Amino acid sequence: MSTSGVMVHPDVQSTFQKLSEGRKEFRYIIFKIEEREVIVETAVTPEDLGVTGDDYDDSSKAAFEKFVEDVKTRTDNLTDCRYAVFDFKFTCSRVGAGTSKMDKIVFLQICPDGASIKKKMVYASSASAIKASLGTGKILQFQVSDESEMSHKELLNKLSEKYGDH
Amino acid sequence: MAEYQHVSTFPSLPKTNRGLPLVISSTPSGDKIVYCNGNSVYIVPSDNLTGTDIYTEHPVATTVAKYSPSGFYCASGDQNGNIRIWDTTQTTHILKATYPIFSGPVRDIAWNDDSKRLAVVGEGKERFGHVFLFDTGTSNGNLSGQSRAMSSVDFKPTRPYRIISGSEDNTVALFEGPPFKFKTTFHEHSRFVNVTRYNNDGSLFASAGADGKVVLFEGTEGTKVGELADDAAKGAAHGGSVFGLSWSPDGSKIATASGDKTVKIWNAADRSLLKTITFGTAIEDQQVSVQWSKQALVSVSLSGFVNFLNVELGTVETIRQGHNKPIVALALSQDKQHIFTSDFEGHTTRWELATGKSQRVKPTLHKSQIVGLAHASNGNLYSVGWDDTINVATIGADGVESAKVNPTKLPSQPLGLAAAKDGSVAVVACYQHIAVQSGGNISVTGIPYHGAAIALSPDNTIVAVGGQDSKVHIYKLSGSQLSAEIKTLNHSGAITALSFSPNGEYLAVTDSARKVVPYSVAKDYVSASDKEWTFHTAKVNCVSWSPNGKRLATGSLDTSIIVWNLEKSGEHPIIIKGAHAMSPVNGVVWINDTTIISAGQDANIKHWNVPL
C-alpha cells in the first residue's frame, strides 16, 4: 500500500492499456512523479524506435538498448528516478517445445544510486500505487539501481530463467 | 407427521463495522431486504418477520449479498474473497457456481441489468476488482486502475454499458465495455470514496465519500454535474462521512446515510435537500447504510438497528432492535407474551412473541456480557453480568425504554442466575460464592469449588448449584438462609445448566460431557430416565422444561436441539439437527407444551413446533 500520498494520473492506466492490449501500440513507456502525481513522461511506438530487423532474433537487444539510452538522457545520466514498462520480445528454448517466441511485459523501478535520497524514497514508497493501478499481478517486476542491472543480458537471463527449461 | 416444524425466525440484525460502509440490498420487487451477519445471508421481508429466509453456506463470515435483477439468483461474497451464486426460488438454495475472486474481503457486488455479468470489488492483494460472466466465470474485462482497495461498484443499467467504482485512493473510476476497460478516474473527493451508484436509467451516477461530499456525474462520460450541498454541513452534503447512498426507484430522489447520525433525502433534479431525518446522539446512531427499494426506504444504524423511514414525512416509522451479536441469555416473561434476550455486549431486547416487534431495554443493564436473565411476575427483570453485578430492573407500564435499574455488586464473577417466579428471591452462582438476593439484601456464602450454573426449586426451598468441579451441589433454602450442602451428585464434566421441573418433581442437569440427566428429587436424586441421555455430540448449553413437566428441551454446542420425553425416556428423542446452522444453541425455552423458542450464537431467535 502506497503511503507517500502520491496519486496516479488516469493516463497512466490508459496508456499502459495501449501497450499491453490489442494492437500493442507502444513498445515502452516511462513514468515520472511530478507534483505528487505519477504521470506518463513518454510513450514510444515501435516506429519511433526505428529498429529494423526482427525483435525475436536478437531478443529485443537493439530496442532495449535504445530504451536504456532514453532513460539515461531523461534521468541526466542516472541521477534521477523513473518507472518504466517495456514490452520484451525474446526467444527461449523450452523442454518439449523447442524454441519459442515469448512476449513479456516487464515493469522496471529505476532508482539509481546516483539519485538523491529523497527521490529514491518517494519512488520506492509510491511504487505500490502505480503497480496496483496498472494491475501488475501478472507482469514481471524488477528493481534497478545501476546501469549493470539494466543491461539487456541481465534481464534476458532473468526472463529465460523464469520461462526457459529448468 | 413430522416430529417438529420450524415455525418462524426473528432474524439477527446486519453486522456493522465502525467507519466502514455497509452494503444492504433488496429483492427486485422490493418486498425483502438482504443483508449479512456471521456466516449467513438474511432475506427478510420488509413488512413482517415470519417469512425470513437464511442462507448459511459460506464457510467464513459473509460481507455482501445482491439479488440479480431477474430475481432468480443471489450472489454473496465473504471475507476470503469467494463469491457464491445460488438459486433463490427454492428454500434449498441450490449452488449455481462459486468463484474465488481475490484473497481478501469482498466489499461490494453489482449485477448488470440482464443478470449476466457480475462485478466484484474488495480488498484483494493482487487486484481489487473483477468483472466476469456469472454462469461460466469467464473474465469480462479488467478493473485495474485504482491504487487502493475498492469499496463500491455499480453497473450502468443501460447501454452503452459502464462500470463505476469508488476506492480508498479517494478516486471514482469509470470503466467502458464490455469487455470492461479503464477509461478514467475522477478526483472529486479528498477522502475514501464509500459508495458509487447509478440511477435507474443510467443517465446519472452519484459518488459519496468520507469527506461528507456527494457528487453527481453524467452517466456515460462522467462529466461532473454538481454536488449535493447542505448549508448546515458547510457546503458538503453531510457533516460526517457518507456511508450509504441510494436512488429512489424512479430516480427522482437520492437518500444518503452518514456518520453524522442523519439520513438525508435530496431532489436529484435540482439537487435540493428535501428532508433530514435525525437519529440520536450516540455513536451507535451513526447511519452506515441506506437502501431505497420499491416498497420501503431502510437505513441501518451502527448498532445494527434496521430503521424503516417514511419518505413523505421524513420520520422513522419502525425500528427493528434485535441483536447482531451472539445471544447468550434468554428469558420468558411470566405472562408468556414476551421474551427477553441479551447479547454478548450486554444489550437486552424485549420481543413481542406474536409479532416479533423488538425493543431495547434502556438504560443498558450491564456494560459487559450478561450471563443470566430471569423475569418475575412482579415485573422485575433480574440479570447478572461480567461487570460483577446483579441488576434488578423494574419494567413499568411505560415500557422497556425507561426501566428503573438497581445494580448491586456481587462478591465474585457471576456465572448463573435463578429467580423465584414471584420475584421474592433470586440466587446467583458466582465463581467462588453463592449469593442470595431477597428483599433488596444480598447474603453471600463462600463455596470451596467454582460455580457454573444454578437452579431454584419452584417452592423456593432447594437450591442446586452446578460446579466446574463436575458436581451438582444441593442446598436447602429457608428465607434467604442457605443450609449446608445436603447432597452431591457426580458428573464426568463441568455442569453447564440445571433446571427444576415446574412442579419440582425433577431436576434436569446438563454437562459438558454431553449428558442430560433428569434426577428425581423425591427419590433421593436417582436418574428418572430408563437409558442414558447422551444424544448430543458436544457440550450441552441449556435446558428447559415444558410447562406440563413431561418433556424437556436441551440446546447444545453441536448446533442441535433435542426434545426428551420423560414418559418415553428409553426411546429415541426428537432431534432438531442444525437448529441454528453453524452456530451453537445458547438458550431454549418452552412457551407452551408444544412450542419452543431457541436463541443461538448466530443472534437468531427461532420458533419450533414440537407436537406431542
Question: For A61-90, what is the mean pLDDT?
Answer: 90
A1–chain B Cβ distance below 8 A for any pair: yes
Domain architecture of chain B: domains with CATH: 61-287 (2.130.10.10), 327-609 (2.130.10.10)
Distance from CA of B128 to the nearest CA of A (A): 9
Contact predicate B536/B585, CB 8 Å: no
Please, which pLDDT band fits residue A92 given cuts at 50, 70 and 90? confident
- A20 pLDDT band, cuts 50/70/90, is confident
Q: What is the pLDDT of residue B139?
A: 92
Residue B577, H or E segment: none
Q: How far is CA B189 from CA B210, B216, B256, in A?
A: 8, 12, 16
CA angle, B73 then B74 then B75, to 5°: 125
8 A C-beta contact, residue A146 and residue A68: no
Which of B144, B181, B185 shows the shortest C-beta gap to A10?
Answer: B185
Query: Which one-letter amino acid corresponds to residue B167?
Result: S
Cis peptide before B160 (omega within 30 of 0): yes
Please give the Cα distance from B561 to B233 (Å, whole number).
Answer: 52
Q: Output b/e per residue, B452-477; b: 16+ Cβ within 10 A.
A: bbbbbbeebebbbbbbbbbbbbbbeb
B-chain residues near A132 (CB < 8 A): 128, 144, 146-148
Residue ranges per domain, chain A? Answer: 7-163
Inter-chain touch B169–A14, beta carbons under 8 Å: no
C-alpha cell at A136: 501488475
pLDDT at B96: 93
State how far residue B147 is from chain A, nearest Cα, in angstroms.
Answer: 5
A99: buried, middle or exposed (CB in 10 Å: 19+, 13-18, 0-12)?
Answer: exposed
Contacts of B488 (CB under 8 A, 6+ apart): B471, B472, B473, B474
Whether residue B254 contacts residue B227, with contact meaning beta carbons closer than 8 Å, is answered with no
Give the pLDDT confidence score for residue B398 in this predicted structure.
61
CB distance B291 to B298 below 8 Å = yes
Q: Which residues of A touch B184 (CB under 8 A)?
A: 10, 14
pLDDT (tens digit per residue) in B374-386: 999 888 899 999 9
The span from the CA of B70 to the CA of A129, in Å, is 38
DSSP tag of B401: G
What is the C-alpha separation between B67 and B27, in angstroms, rounded?
6
Cα–Cα dist B546/B167, whole Å: 55
Output phi, psi for B96, to 5 deg: -85, -50
**CB crowding B79-106: b at 16 or more within 10 Å, else e:** bbbbbbbbebeeeebeeeeebebbebbb
Distance from CA of A1 to the nearest CA of B (A): 7
Distance from CA of A61 to the nearest CA of B (A): 30
As a whole number of angstroms, the distance between CA A53 and CA A65 comes to 14
Contact yes or no for A10 and B169 at CB 8 A: no
For the residues of chain A, what is the DSSP string, one character each? ---S--EE-HHHHHHHHHHHSTT---SEEEEEEETTEEEEEEEE-HHHHT--S-TTTTTTHHHHHHHHHHHHHHTTTTSS-EEEEEEEEEEEEETTTEEEEEEEEEEEEE--TTS-HHHHHHHHHHHHHHHHHHTTTSSEEEEE-SGGGG-HHHHHHHHHHHHS--
C-alpha distances (whole Å) from B71 to each of A26, B28, B32, B43 are 45, 6, 11, 12
pLDDT at position B397: 60
- Contact residues, chain A, for B169 at CB < 8 Å: 7-8, 129, 133
- Residues A134 and A85: beta-carbon distance below 8 Å: yes
Query: What's B180's DSSP letter?
Result: B
Residue in chain A closest to B175 (alpha carbons) equals A14
> pTM of the predicted model, to two decimals?
0.88
Complex ipTM, two decimals? 0.73
In CATH, what is the architecture of A7-163? 3-Layer(aba) Sandwich (3.40)
Residue pair B192/B205 in contact (Cβ under 8 Å)? The answer is no
Rounded CA separation B99/B140 (Å): 14
Measured distance CA(A84)–CA(A71) in Å, rounded:
9
Q: Of B336, B326, B343, B322, which Cα lies nearest the Cα of B596?
A: B336
User: Which residues 6+ apart lie within 8 Å of B96 measured at CB?
Assistant: B73, B85, B86, B87, B134, B135
Average pLDDT (A77-104) is 84
Cβ neighbours of A135 in B, within 8 Å: 127, 142, 144-145
Q: Which residues of A touch B183 (CB under 8 A)?
A: 10, 14
CA distance B317 to B585: 32
Say which of B144, B183, B187 has its CB closest to residue A134. Answer: B144
pLDDT at A2: 56
What is the distance between the alpha carbons of residues A24 and B448, in angstroms, rounded to a whole number?
81
What is the C-alpha separation between B186 and B215, in angstroms, rounded? Answer: 10
* SS3 call for B601: coil
Which strand ranges, in their side-by-side order, compose the sheet holding B506-511? B495-500, B506-511, B516-520, B526-527
Residues B539-577: b if buried by 16+ CB within 10 A, e if exposed: bbbbbbbbeebbbbbbbbbbbbbbbbbbeeeeeebbbbe
CA B428/CA B456 separation, integer angstroms: 10
Q: Which residue has the cell 457546503?
A: B235
A14–B187 CB contact, under 8 Å = no
Chain B positions with Cβ closer than 8 Å to A: 126-128, 142, 144-148, 169-171, 181-185, 187
Torsions phi, psi for B95 (to 5 deg): -75, 125
Q: Residue A8: list chain B partners with CB under 8 A.
A: 147, 169, 185
Tell me how far apart the alpha carbons of residues B26 and B14 are, in angstroms, rounded to a whole number: 13
State residue B431's pLDDT score. 94
To the nearest whole Å, the CA of A159 is away from the closest chain B CA by 21
Q: Where are the alpha helices (DSSP H) in B431-541?
A: none
The torsion angles phi and psi of B303, rounded to 5 degrees, stand at -70, -10
Identify the sign of the CA torsion B514, B518, B519, B523: negative
Could you give the CA distance from residue B270 to residue B277 in angstroms, rounded to a whole number?
Answer: 20
Binned average pLDDT, 10 residues per bin, chain B of 612 residues: 86 93 94 94 88 92 95 95 94 92 94 94 90 92 90 94 94 91 92 95 94 94 93 90 95 95 94 93 94 93 94 91 93 91 91 89 88 90 92 77 84 93 92 90 92 94 94 92 91 94 94 94 90 92 94 94 91 92 94 94 94 88
SS (H, E, C) B239-275: CCCEEEEEECCCCCEEEEEECCCEEEEEECCCCCEEE
Coil vs helix vs strand at B284: helix
Interatomic CA distance for residues B612 and B608, integer angstroms:
13
Determine the Cα–Cα distance for residues B77 and B134; give it in Å rounded to an integer: 13
Helices (H), B69-179: none
Question: How far is B124 from chain A, CA to nearest CA, in Å?
Answer: 10
